[in-house]
Amino acid sequence: MSDLSDRLSEIEARARALEQRLSDPGLASQPGEYAKVGKQLGSLRPLLEAARRWRQTVSELDDARLLLHEADAELRELAGTEIERLGAERDALEVRIKELLLPKDPNDDKDVILEIRAGTGGDEAALFAADLFRMYSRHAETMGWKVEPLSLSDGAAGGMKEVIASISGDRVWSRMKYERGVHRVQRVPATESAGRIHTSTATVAVLPEAEEVEIQIDPKDLRIDVFRSSGPGGQSVNTTDSAVRVTHLPTGEVVQCQDEKSQHKNKARALKILRARLLEAEQERQAAARASEKKSQVGTGDRSEKIRTYNFPQSRITDHRVGVTVHRLAEVLEGDLGPLLDAVHAEFQKQAEQEALAS
Q: What pLDDT sits at residue 303? A: 40
Fold of 2-100: Methane Monooxygenase Hydroxylase; Chain G, domain 1 (1.20.58)
From the CB of residue 182, how many other CB atoms can be counted at a distance below 10 Å?
A: 19
Question: How far is residue 331's CA from residue 340's CA, in Å, rounded to a whole number?
Answer: 11
Distance CA 322, CA 307 (A): 9
Q: Residues in the chain, how many?
A: 359
Do residues 162 and 153 make contact, with C-beta atoms less than 8 angstroms apart? Answer: yes
In the chain, where the domains are located: 2-100, 112-213+301-358, 219-289
SS3 label, residue 225:
strand
Note every long-range contact of 347-354, with CB atoms under 8 Å and residues 24 or more positions apart, other chains counting: 347/321, 347/322, 348/178, 348/297, 348/300, 349/99, 351/297, 352/102, 352/103, 352/297, 353/99, 353/102
- Contact at 8 Å (CB) between 97 and 50? yes
**Measured distance between the N- and C-terminal CA atoms of the chain, rounded to whole angstroms:** 21
- Angle (nearest 5°) at CA 70 between 65 and 73: 105
Percent of the chain with pLDDT over 70: 89
Nearest residue to 280 (alpha-carbon basis) of 102, 104, 114 = 114
Query: Domain 219-289 is in which class?
Result: alpha beta
Report the pLDDT averaged over residues 299-309.
Answer: 60
204 by DSSP, 3-state: which?
A: strand
- Judge whether 215 and 279 are in contact, CB under 8 Å: yes
Q: What is the pLDDT of residue 4?
A: 83
Mean pLDDT is lowest, of 74-78, 94-98, 99-103, 222-226, for 99-103
What digits encode the pLDDT tens for the residues 248-267? 999 999 999 988 888 889 99
Query: Tens digits of per-residue pLDDT, 273-303?
Result: 999 999 888 888 877 765 543 343 333 333 4
Asked if residues 278 and 210 have their Cβ atoms less than 8 Å apart, the reply is: yes
Average pLDDT over residues 91-102: 84
Per-residue pLDDT band at 65 (split at 50, 70, 90)? very high
Q: Say how far apart CA 147 and CA 170 lie, in whole Å.
A: 13
Residue 235 has a pLDDT of 45
Calculate helix-pair angle for 73-100, 2-22, nearest 10 degrees.
Answer: 60
Separation between Cα atoms, residue 242 and residue 261, nearest integer Å = 6
Domain 112-213+301-358 CATH assignment equals 3.30.565.10: no
- Asked whether 161 and 153 are in contact (CB, 8 A), the reply is yes
Higher-confidence position of 223 and 293: 223
* Pairwise pLDDT comparison (237 vs 286), residue with the higher score: 286
- Residue 146 pLDDT greater than 90, yes or no: yes
Provide the angle, in degrees to the nearest 10, between the axes of the packed helices 31-66 and 73-100.
150
Residues 60-70: b if buried by 16+ CB within 10 A, e if exposed: bbeebeebeee
pLDDT of residue 212: 67
Phi-psi region of 309 (alpha: psi -120 to 50; beta: other; left: phi over 0): beta
pLDDT in tens, 152-167: 999 888 899 999 999 9
CA distance 152 to 232: 11
Q: What's at 70, amino acid-wise?
A: E
- Is residue 21 within 8 Å of residue 64, measured between CB atoms? no
237 three-state secondary structure: coil
By percentage, how much of the chain surpasses pLDDT 90? 50
**pTM listed for this prediction:** 0.65
